[in-house]
Amino acid sequence: MTTADELVAIARSYNPRTNEAMLRDAFVFGAEMHQGQFRHSGEPYFTHPVAVAVSLADQQMDDATLITALLHDTIEDTKASFSDVETRFSREIAELVDGVTKLTNLQLSSTETKQAENFRKLFMATSRDLRVTLVKLADRLHNMRTIKSMKVEKQAQKARETMDIYAPLAGRMGMQWMREELEDLAFRVLNPEGRNSIIRRFLTLQKETGNVVEEITADMKSELANENIPAQVMGRAKKPYSIWRKMQEKDLAFSRLSDIYGFRIVTENEADCYRALGIIHQRWKAVPGRFKDYISQPKTNGYRSIHTTVSGRDGKRVEVQIRTREMHEVAETGVAAHWSYRNGERVENRFAVDPVRWISSLTDRLDEDHDHDEFLEAVKLEMYTDQVFCFSPKGDVIKLPRGATPIDFAYAIHTRIGHATLGAKVDGMRVPLWTRLKNGQSVEVLTAEGQTPQATWIDIAVTGRAKTAIRKFLREENREKFVRLGVELARVAFENAGKKATDRALSTAAKAMALEDVEDMLSRLGSAEITAQSVVRAIYPDLASRIGDEVDAGHAVVGLRADQNYQRAMCCQPVPGERIIGITMRGKGVIVHSIDCEALVDFEEQPDRWVDLHWEEGTHGAINTITLDLSITNDAGVLGRICTLIGEQKANISDLTFIDRKPDYFRLLADIDLRDAEHLHRVMTALEAESNVSAIARHRDPGRAGMTLAR
């Protein structure tokens, strides 16, 4: 354990004016209060507060924050009271310790409604003093570093909570290094096989290509030195979770991933940033569409940097970030830059932006909405996404999350504009409403009097603001119809559980689900925002398992009329768990497509044929066929091992088609029968970890848009 002398030495290294006596006193007080307490690992408990304090000292935090770290568990876990801390230290420190205690007591991994309310409290606490959140993040970081000593089920709970809340919160605060480490530590718990497969691939890649990072770093230093640009060049391989997430988002195998290596160039001034960019682009070929200038258009958390991707040695893509030293400090420490000291003085960094403004505006804007689930969704969307900057026809800049659509753009301008949206033009060209907007594009929203939101917009929209407005409109517009349908759905669900949907039962369920009233619950049930099973589960949790455990293949899709049947489209092969949309086809009923299917563009001008659908909750049978595109080494027994791997995942191969045969590899299409998206993910993960599989991808064929799959 770090001693008091060592902690003081760290603090004095960046703040010679540190209150050494108070730091030592806090160390002694914390050790006394935690005397006789031990962690799950068997270590004295006080080793934890000390580790948290050291972590914050490494970020050059002020004395009050370090003392708070040493005492952050005293009010909660020892005999010390608020007044004890206030009397011995100060009111400021007592309030900080109390703030950390309150955050600790929030059960952020509980039910969605309670989680949403706690999220609201978390942000309100954060907006009062950011140092409370900084201590809590450092506390969570040390707990995740030492998580192996906890029970397995507790590890999973803490890891999921970290992945869902603390990691993105650290990122939103601009502390990218902490976000990456928290994500990777959680990934190690939640998916150890996936993480190990990434590491194995890295080791194989290093054997094949040598130390790419050192070679490219040396090349960049040489090029910059030749042009007399003083700069520091750093390179590294990206974290396993970062690579895994990119594989999932882009549905790519490891071998097809680009820019798995990242490089940073830190210059003395802004002008040198752009000079360095020119040198990099002269020496290496720039990848089109992979350039972002966050210096001229900073992120809302103060992040500034130039991002570009180039083809490096042997054609391998690498990402390059170029920034000044001041920008680098903000990029590394984020909000902590507000509290940093240098030579005993607080450092004013002109690029640091206080996230309190963002948090305050978020809580103010969403405080009017009493729908907890929508609040939670909006908060997570705000935290998780980077931003793109688009222009209105008048030249106004509209900030949106990455992946936003023209619908999000319309609602960002005004709810009235969003409701009346008929279409959109991007850079003068008419585009579908599900088009993903990019930085710098000019967007014109086309409106029409009498136009109203469509149910399909909920899946197309990305921002919490747009989704909330659409749901609210649809709920009010169709409330009477949805309530009638909800009554019938509730009656059937309760009968299947051997109960009756009495007024008292429905009222109890609505209260248990924290909804406004019975009518609100029935409206949501009728509009498929909640399920009949969840209503029964609210008051009869033991009986709810009887409902919908095994989904009938003929009723696996929700949203069809009684006289409609459905078929899965062969072009995109949607499976349960994926977002879907229906297109009516004469003689074929409703054809179910994935929401991102390229074939949907052909129906853009035929909105009457679109049907809003989603999969029924419950376990689906292994009857859904998808096609995988595999490249495997041409060695004896490889194909047999691939088939065995798929069989071990309880999936069935219904067809194999070889589309390319080479002396060293085969490329084939494998039709596999499985249950749902999670089952597909497990199959692909198992194949991805197999060293004889050089590439794997989901096969999609827009040319088969008119064809359907048997079910």
List residues with catalytic annotation.
Answer: 76-77
| Distance separating alpha carbons of residues 671 and 709, to the nearest angstrom | 12
Task: Compute CA 371 distance to the chain's CA centroid, rounded to the nearest angstrom.
Answer: 21
**H-run or E-run covering 329:** helix 325-333
Instruction: Tell me if 454 sits within 8 A of 399, measured CB to CB.
Output: no
Q: Write the Ramachandran bin of 251: left for phi over 0, alpha for psi from -120 to 50, otherwise beta.
A: left
Residue indicated by tokens 């192996």:
148
Residue from 380, 376, 453 nearest 411 by CA: 453
| Sequence letter at residue 568 | R
Please choose, from the candidates 467, 374, 441, 324, the residue with its C-alpha nearest in 3D space to the C-alpha of residue 116: 374
- Is residue 202 within 8 Å of residue 237, measured between CB atoms? yes
CA 222 to chain CA centroid, nearest Å: 38
- List of residues 6+ apart from 476 with CB closer than 8 A: none
* Pair 582, 591: CB distance under 8 Å: yes
Query: Residue 633 burial (CB < 10 Å; 0-12/13-18/19+)?
Result: middle
Number of neighbours of residue 383 by Cβ within 10 angstroms: 21
Q: Which residues of 6-22 are buried (b: 16+ CB within 10 A; e: fewer)?
A: ebbebbeebbeebbbeb
Detail the DSSP E strand segments found in 173-304. Answer: 231-237, 261-267, 285-286, 292-293
